[in-house]
Amino acid sequence: VNLVLLGPPGAGKGTQARKLQDRFGLVQLSTGDLLRAAVAEGTEAGLAAKAVMEAGGLVSDEIVVNILRDRLGQADCESGVIFDGFPRTAPQAEALDALLAENNSAITAAISLEVDDAAMVERISGRYTCAGCGEGYHDSFKQPQTAGTCDNCGGHDFKRRADDNAETVSKRLEAYHAETAPLIDHYGKEGVLKHVDAMQAIDSVEAQLASLVALEI
Name the binding residues for AMP. 31, 36, 57-59, 85-88, 92, 161, 172
> Helix or strand or coil: residue 149?
strand
Which helix H or strand E contains 175, and what residues bound it? helix 166-175
Convert residues 41-60 into a mask of x (bound to ligand AP5 by CB under 6 A) and - (unbound): -----------xx--xxxx-
Among 18, 19, 50, 88, the one annotated catalytic: 88
Which residues 174-203 are close enough to bind ligand AP5 by CB under 6 A?
Answer: 198, 200-202
Q: Is 153 within 8 Å of 135 (Cβ atoms)?
A: yes
Binding residues are: 10-15, 31, 36, 57-59, 85-88, 92, 127, 130, 133, 150, 153, 161, 172, 200
Please, what's the largest Cα pairwise distance for the chain? 47
Q: Among residues 38, 172, 192, 196, which is the contact residue for ligand AP5, using CB under 6 A?
A: 172
Q: Which stretch binds ligand AP5 (CB under 6 A): 39-47, 99-107, 134-142, 183-191?
A: 134-142
Which residues 50-89 are close enough to bind Zn ion by CB under 5 A?
Answer: none
Calpha distance 69→92 (Å, rounded): 11
Q: Which of 176, 177, 208 is nearest to 194 (CA)?
A: 208
Sign of the torsion formed by the C-alpha atoms of 180, 73, 209 and 152: negative
Q: Among residues 19, 50, 138, 194, which is the contact residue for ligand AP5, using CB under 6 A?
A: 138
Which residues 91-150 are close enough to bind Zn ion by CB under 5 A?
Answer: 130, 132-133, 135, 150
> Helix or strand or coil: residue 142?
strand
CA 131 to chain centre: 18
Among 50, 71, 127, 194, the one annotated catalytic: 127
127 is catalytic: yes
Which helix H or strand E contains 158, and what residues bound it? strand 158-159
Instruction: Tell me if 170 contacts Zn ion by CB under 5 A.
Output: no
23 is catalytic: no
88 interacts with, out of Zn ion, ligand AP5, none, CB within 5 to 8 A per kind: ligand AP5
- Cα-Cα-Cα-Cα dihedral of 96, 97, 99, 104, to 10°? 150
| Binding footprint of Zn ion, residue count (CB under 5 A) | 8
Convert residues 24-43 into a mask of x (bound to ligand AP5 by CB under 6 A) and - (unbound): -------xx--x--------
The strand pairing partners of 13, in sequence order, are none
154: alpha, beta or left, given left = phi > 0 and alpha = psi -120 to 50?
Answer: left
Residues in contact with ligand AP5 by the rule CB under 6 A: 7, 9-15, 31-32, 35, 52-53, 56-59, 64, 85-86, 88, 92, 123-124, 126-127, 136-138, 141-142, 172, 198, 200-202, 205
